[in-house]
A and B are shown apart, each in its own frame.
Chain A
């Protein structure tokens, strides 16, 4: 059972990482980065590191997403080509 969850989390990490790069709307990319951090913290928890998982969930999904959203609001929310 834990092997199946582990494989699903790894597949989700690859999919979200690809979506962050290909996404044109930067707000959507920032929220996808929060989902990536959440999946990464589940991966840390499966690998027996709950301390790192809490730090990743707080700093990666919380603080850095807020920094991205504040920076995007000060500029444009579309990717400049």
Chain B
């Protein structure tokens, strides 16, 4: 795809990108309190990057974000997920044990009894795994579209 879309579409994509990414991170971070979670939030963030890929030239987009960055996002998400699951074993628990729950530290607040609006600093390792899945889905979905667009560009140059 060697051409970009019109100036109206490019400006709208630039403005909407920030709001889409912030909303996606909101869904990821509140995954244990509200509907949504790692996959949904990661897909929303990837939609923001895909909007930039469709609206702009591919070379402009690759000047802002490298392909290697998305590959590193995907890799670090998977490593963070399995690392959090494996970190329970040296502490004397079973695999995937929620060892941060109720300890008072990071995400370790005890949930009060009764009806409450929900507290962000609870639920132990579940928010960490939501963040890991969010980063992984963001990298994966973005790089699918990125490689598809690169393939079309190479095909057009070859003709």
Contact = CB atoms under 8 A, between A and B. Distances in A.
B40 A63 contact: no
Interface stretch (A7-15, A17-25, A65-73): A65-73
Interface in B17-43: 27, 35-37, 39-40, 43
A70 B54 contact: yes
B154 to A, nearest CB: 11
A73 B53 CA distance: 13
Interface residues of A, number: 15
A63 B54 CA distance: 11
B44 interface: yes
Name A's interface SS. helix
Contacts of B53: 66
Contacts, number: 54
B43 A66 contact: no
Contacts of A66: 47, 50-51, 53-54, 145
A51 B36 contact: yes
B109 interface: no
A55 interface: yes
Contacts of A28: none
B54 A69 contact: yes
A69 to B, nearest CB: 6
A75 to B, nearest CB: 10
A59 interface: yes
25 contacts: A51-B40, A53-B35, A54-B35, A54-B36, A55-B39, A55-B40, A55-B43, A58-B40, A58-B46, A58-B47, A62-B44, A62-B46, A62-B47, A62-B50, A63-B50, A63-B141, A63-B145, A66-B47, A66-B50, A66-B51, A66-B53, A66-B145, A74-B1, A74-B155, A74-B156
